[in-house]
Amino acid sequence: MELDVLDRDYMCSGHVGCPGCGAAIAMRFLLKALGEKTMMVIPACCWSIIAGPHPQSTLKVPVLHTAFETGGAVASGIRAALDAKGDTETTVVTWAGDGGTFDIGFQALSGAVERNEDFIYVCYDNEAYMNTGVQRSSSTPYGAWTTTTPGQEWKRLRKKNIVEALVAHRIPYAATASIAFPEDLVRKVKKAKGIKGSRFLHIYASCPTGWRIPSEMAIKIARMAVQTNIFPLYEVENGVRYTINYMPKGYLVREYFKLQGRFKHLTDNDLEQIQEMVNEDWELLLRKAGVSMSAAGTVA
């Protein structure tokens, strides 16, 4: 299936991301879908480095590098300034990692979307504070090793469901996407671009460095996260209308976990418990989307 995007790239090849960086792949597809009339707000995150030091930049659109906690506030201000100038064509985008979205930046994000500010907020999720040394965030999944949850102190709390937190604000559009499903990702970016008000995209972006995987496995791991129901692809309109975009065959989560060094300490009992959690979350999503269990199926 061909991607319905322009051949032109708005991201140069000379970035400083790690080999296999899922966040770099995600940015490339995002900008292909948005086009050149885009202004990018980047709070502190891996992409503060990946984009390159001033006066150089790998991005061919205007970029504002901002403080960790300010993604929602800065985007609101830029949108107001563009409106005052009569510019209704430029799309304002906040591009933040999970630390700047789930944790440090959540207050500004919540305030902005409660006001229904007209911008797109994109969280590229690599499930930890990767830029500062792989510390755990509230996006870090149950069972994961990080430098702040080492050894037998691995994280024993579930990942925050950030999409549901945004859905609770009744924003016009919220969706998940993955670098392993580019057609779906691009379609959702284009759909978000055409909607007024606050839009939120949660993009699964694998991190070979922090997840302890070979760089060539970045896309495969991202695909397996969807196929095991760990990261479902779905969208929610106006906080109530759910659409599931991909129905997996229901692979066991152990197939996903055994490939990653950050999970190598988990026992069979741990993996069985995680499978139950994933099943529970999937069944809840099915109910919200009005899909029967018989139509979707669940791993036992």
Instruction: Tell whether 12 is covered by a domain.
Output: no
Task: Tell me what pLDDT residue 165 has.
Answer: 98
CATH number reported for the structural domain that contains residue 261 in this entry: 3.40.50.970
Residue 8 belongs to some domain of the structure: no
Check: CB of residue 197 under 8 Å from CB of residue 118: yes
Question: Would residue 166 count as lying in a domain?
Answer: yes
- The reply to whether 10 falls in a domain is no
Domain coverage including residue 148: 22-296
Closest CA to 163 of 176, 150, 154: 176
Q: What pLDDT, on a 0 to 100 scale, did the predictor assign at position 66?
A: 96
Q: Give residue 5's pLDDT.
A: 58
Least confident segment among 56-60, 129-133, 172-176, 274-278: 56-60
Amino acid letter, residue 292:
S
Whether residue 4 lies inside any domain: the answer is no
Q: With a cut of 90, say whether residue 292 has pLDDT above it.
A: no
Is the pTM value of this prediction over 0.75? yes
Residue 13 lies in a domain: no
* 3 domain-assigned: no
Asked whether residue 11 is assigned to any structural domain, the reply reads: no
Strands 199-204 and 91-96 turn out to be unpaired
Here the tokens at position 139 are 């996006």
At residue 246, does pLDDT exceed 60? yes
Question: Structural domain tally of the chain?
Answer: 1
Strand partners, 177: 203
